[in-house]
Structure 1
Amino acid sequence: MGCLLGRDGTVEMVLVGDARSLYIPELPKGREARWRLRGLRLVHTHLHGEPLTQDDLMDLVFLRLDCVAAVQVDRQGGATWLHVAHLVPGAGEKTDRAWEILPPMLCSQQSVDFEELVRSLDEELERNRQLFSTSDGRDRALLIGVTDGSRERAEASLDEMAELARAAGIDVVGRVVQRVREINPKYLIGKGKLGEIMIQALRHGVDLLIFDRELNPSQVRALTDTTELRVIDRTQLILDIFAQRAKSREGKIQVEMAQLRYLMPRLNVRDDALSRLTGGIGARGPGETKLEIDRRRIKDRLAQLERELKAIRKNRQERRRRRNKNEIPVVSIVGYTNAGKSTLLNALTKSDVPVADQYFATLDPTSRRLRFPRDFEVIVTDTVGFIHDLPRELLDAFAATLEELHDADVLLHVVDISNPRFEEHIEAVRAILKKLNLHTKPELLVFNKMDLVSPEFGKTVADRYGGILISAIDRSTLSRLITALEERVEMVCFGENRISA
């Protein structure tokens, strides 16, 4: 048996277990999880002379207890040895220890000053708070990668997720990668690794865990309940970036639709009774559960947004019809996010479309005119950047915007050649184009940011892929691209006669 004691020595809860283990029910939410211990210490008995067990230490971590103490009991029921452990919350510790186990002591001679021990732990946590708290209110996050494949790929994926987090305005304080033989269906990661994450979160004031895998509803709930921290996955992170970036009414509608479609299968009701909400006095039938009401409201909202989007789509189709009537060729710039598409649009058309060195800086499509030396014009459109494993909800919601690509005569595929994973980016973009049935469109491959790699490397890559090497921030490098694009558009739209002329 055991008990949970408050800091003033009050018995807050009496616990009963069997000969080997103790059952601890779900505790009320503690003080601010980001910086604080729970304010409770666990004192319990061990009947077989064993010291603190792994379960004891996991309870210490997951419940953020002030300390855990095990009292060894002899056959006559007398207390013999006392074993005590507490967390090691100090930031910048040179040890990876999550806890410290004090030397065993006789119960009759125990000299631990629990009040002083807890005070010193609180002081360390307060130093953490002063060291890491931010005045701008930004979230502090740990990135978590779990893989049953290559650790190198998992690390690279977290590199990309760190850029996504930066684009979302999140302060990334660390990362954890675990390679497993089999994915844990409940927590995604092992319980021991989750304990390490809890300690890192406590030491560094983390309030957000971001997983580089899509989490199902039960995993989110299990992780949230266990850590008492906010938990999101990669899809939610991308959705949040899109919500921040969307400026036009169309963009905002599409993002909201994506968020609602993501939320729909994840609706959960925590009340065991699933309380019924009736329709008022005289209403017939059993009424609707809160879950049913939430789902119906989401469906109604999606239907309303779909109607608005159809009206916007109709206007766009009319603009496209007029454009097609004038027989103006269309060149659409596509590519991985942050490859430099908007910068290239500005360089080609002498425009001033906003650009930023971050993921998904451009959401709303932009069109500008470009006049070639041979005295004909094209419409150049910039579209939202792609990313590997682009969430299905976003692909569906942005289908209306991506319809613009179907009108393109030529796709200008921009690649950031300075990115070590540029080859994977090419494959990811082409995979998405195939999903959109755009893979048969004429493509001109453009390797951007040549100023960030050696001339030899740039030339080798461009030759291997049959692409063109440029730096979008240096217009003097664009002449070969403009010539090649002009010839490709003439070939596709006007045939060989015009070229020979």
Structure 2
Amino acid sequence: MKQAHLAGRTKGLRPSQQRQLERLSHRRHPEREGADQLTLERLAEKVIELCQPLHLVLDSRGLCRLLWVGPLDGSGQLLAHLPESPRRKSAGWRLISCSLTLQRNNLRPEQHDAIVALDLAPNSWLRFAPTSDRGGRRIAALWQPDPKEISGWSLIEANGLSELCQHSQGSTVKPEVTPLPSKDSRERVLLLTLTGPEQSRSERDLAELEGLVRSAGGHPVAVVRQKQGAPNPQTLWGKGKLQETALEVRRHSASLVITDRELNPVQVRNLERYLDCPVMDRSELILDIFAQRASSAAGRLQVELAQLRYRMPRLMGRGRSLSRQGGGIGTRGPGETQLEKDRRAITRRIEHLLREVRQLQNHRARLRNRREGLPRVALVGYTNAGKSSLLNALCSRNEHNKVLAENKLFATLDPTTRRLLIPQTGGKPLELLITDTVGFIRELPAPLVEAFRATLEETLEADLLLVVVDLSDTDWQAQLDTVHQLLNSLGSESIRQVIANQIDRCDSSALETIRSIDPKVIYLSAASGAGLQGLKHWLKDQFWGHRAESAPLHSVNT
């Protein structure tokens, strides 16, 4: 049975050279540690002859499983030639490399080779020069994976090749990545960002992106930043920064990279090729959160529509595979590509979902017509500003009647309407309807806004908008501006009243700032109940005050 496999840049090799390399790969090395010095010296001669680096992958028994010709270009190609048997991989691999670029003053692995070698996850990596010094010694260096090092590798020993071939690693403790607890199945995520000239703004945007990752069930493990300059249209980030990112992915055992910029399909493919890791942009992350939060049939319908519209231009298909179209005259031949079939299937599904969304819009319009006699108020604001908590504090006296209110981004997707009863002396309570709507966020994906238009109509058709802002958030001013901009882009003409929430947790400077922006702001705390009675009195005056007594309720907007 053939144990070793010769791969890499083998096309230009003569048959005699291939046979010589195969004989070298069949030579056995000491078990578990060290290497056969004579084999490595002959390997060095072949490196000089071929002017190509050579790499040996040894298993725990000292058998060579792979002899790779050329640089370590891609971990996928390298790992594809290795056996997947757990028995053979249990003790780990040993990697041995001989390269012309290795010099006495440059023993550190090249960045790209270091990344691919980390994917192999060897116990040790022996690197040596093919040429000898004046004393006849070949310089060599023994490395081991170390996530604490920037390069991902720590130097065990630098010495002559003969000494390192006899090196014992029994006393060497291999550092390990600190994993998440075994019961924690969250995905490890690396964040790739572009920072602008304003450092504080960039840090707040990064904190929001981390919040989105946690809301999606991920665990941010590292951040790679690059100053925003002239963008690279192929990847947005520079090649050097992407190599650093690829190394950080291996150091922190990240399984996903998320960017803070929206990417086109070409950029996603280029980034995944550079990083050898799945890549997701911010818009796709928000769509994923919406897909997790959608509980009702209407919510799932709108999320699926948004996802299909987002993924349609990013569809890759299955290469150049073809399928026959039929068996009649004019239908024989190569047929159409599988990609075109997938696109047509998605297009049909989108058309079906659009019909259902139109039915949903008509259904919500009928519901609003039934409530025509009651004033309608919509709670709007940035995500996680406290809208659901405010709705519970105002309208839900029973636990089973409360809506979900969690400290997560986009905890609420489906609009929920509750009746608010305001008691009055000498008569029955006054009644109005309050609707909790989906939260806003900066740069909300366009497919999501279009798909949720049926839900957002609850906001557009309301008589009054209560714009809830969380004063305890340091970025509340930018969040308030984002909400107003999104409402303007949706064409909202309803009256807006700013509600300053979390007044018991904010700084006094925030109270003064918002008072200077809007002197008519209403202050309250949905958690503690402070200011709720003042809001109810304000709503009563707004809809049933002296100015509105002689006018129809729906004319409050005019």
TM range (shorter): 0.7 to 0.9
Q: 2:462 aligns with which of 408, 420, 439?
A: 408
The structural deviation recorded for 1:255 is: 0.5
Partner of 1:363: 413
Q: Does 1:82 align with 2:139?
A: yes
Partner of 2:311: 263
Q: Does 1:221 align with 2:262?
A: no
Partner of 1:71: 129
Q: 2:382 aligns with which of 323, 328, 336?
A: 336
One-letter code of the match for 1:477?
G
The structural deviation recorded for 1:286 is: 3.6
Provide the rounded CA distance (Å) in 1 between the counterparts of 2:264 and 2:551: 57
8 Å CA contact 2:97, 2:127 repeated in 1: yes
Distance 1:204 1:23, change over 3 A: closer
Partner of 2:53: 2
Written as runs of structure 1 = structure 2, the 5 A alignment for 1:77-116 is: 81-84=138-141, 86=143, 88-90=145-147, 93=148, 96-100=150-154, 105-107=159-161, 109-112=162-165, 116=169
Counterpart of 2:511 in 1: which secondary structure? helix
Q: Does 1:290 align with 2:290?
A: no
Written as runs of structure 1 = structure 2, the 5 A alignment for 1:114-153 is: 116=169, 123-125=174-176, 128=177, 131-153=179-201
The structural deviation recorded for 1:241 is: 1.0
Greater shift in the superposed pair: 291-300 or 410-419: 291-300
Counterpart of 1:475 in 2: which secondary structure? coil
Provide the rounded CA distance (Å) in 1 between the counterparts of 2:203 and 2:115: 26
Greater shift in the superposed pair: 352-361 or 187-196: 187-196
The structural deviation recorded for 1:496 is: 7.2
8 Å CA contact 1:56, 1:68 repeated in 2: no
Partner of 1:278: 324
Provide the rounded CA distance (Å) in 2 between the counterparts of 1:200 and 1:417: 36
TM-score by length of 1: 0.84
The structural deviation recorded for 1:42 is: 5.7
Q: 1:168 aligns with which of 188, 204, 216?
A: 216
The structural deviation recorded for 1:229 is: 2.8
Q: Gapped runs of 5+ residues in structure 2?
A: 1-51, 554-558
Cα shift readout 1:370-412 (whole Å, capped 9, x = no counterpart) = 2334653221111000001111111011011111122111110
TM-score by length of 2: 0.76
8 Å CA contact 1:368, 1:381 repeated in 2: yes
Quick check: which has more Rg, 1 or 2? 2
Provide the rounded CA distance (Å) in 2 between the counterparts of 1:219 and 1:110: 47
Q: Does 1:448 align with 2:501?
A: yes
Distance 1:491 1:270, change over 3 A: farther
Distance 1:50 1:181, change over 3 A: farther
RMSD, aligned CA: 3.5
Provide the rounded CA distance (Å) in 2 between the counterparts of 1:312 and 1:332: 19
Q: Gapped runs of 5+ residues in structure 1?
A: 17-21
8 Å CA contact 1:165, 1:171 repeated in 2: yes
8 Å CA contact 1:38, 1:63 repeated in 2: no
Written as runs of structure 1 = structure 2, the 5 A alignment for 1:439-478 is: 440-454=493-507, 457-458=510-511, 460-462=513-515, 464-466=517-519, 467-478=521-532
Q: What is the number of residues matched between the two proteins?
A: 477
8 Å CA contact 1:459, 1:469 repeated in 2: no
The structural deviation recorded for 1:307 is: 1.8
One-letter code of the match for 2:260?
D
Q: 2:356 aligns with which of 308, 311, 314?
A: 308
Partner of 1:182: 230
Counterpart of 1:494 in 2: which secondary structure? coil
The structural deviation recorded for 1:161 is: 1.4
8 Å CA contact 2:384, 2:410 repeated in 1: yes
8 Å CA contact 1:168, 1:241 repeated in 2: yes
Counterpart of 1:214 in 2: which secondary structure? coil
Partner of 1:318: 366
Counterpart of 2:224 in 1: which secondary structure? strand
Greater shift in the superposed pair: 151-160 or 219-228: 219-228
Provide the rounded CA distance (Å) in 2 between the counterparts of 1:341 and 1:352: 12
Cα shift readout 1:306-352 (whole Å, capped 9, x = no counterpart) = 2222222222211122222xx22211110000101011111222351
Distance 1:412 1:492, change over 3 A: farther
Q: 1:424 aligns with which of 467, 474, 478?
A: 478
Distance 1:186 1:456, change over 3 A: closer
The structural deviation recorded for 1:106 is: 4.5
8 Å CA contact 1:362, 1:384 repeated in 2: yes
The structural deviation recorded for 1:184 is: 3.8
Provide the rounded CA distance (Å) in 2 between the counterparts of 1:114 and 1:278: 62
Provide the rounded CA distance (Å) in 2 between the counterparts of 1:120 and 1:85: 11
Distance 1:54 1:297, change over 3 A: farther
Partner of 1:19: none
Distance 1:2 1:287, change over 3 A: same
Seq. identity, %: 34
Counterpart of 1:181 in 2: which secondary structure? coil
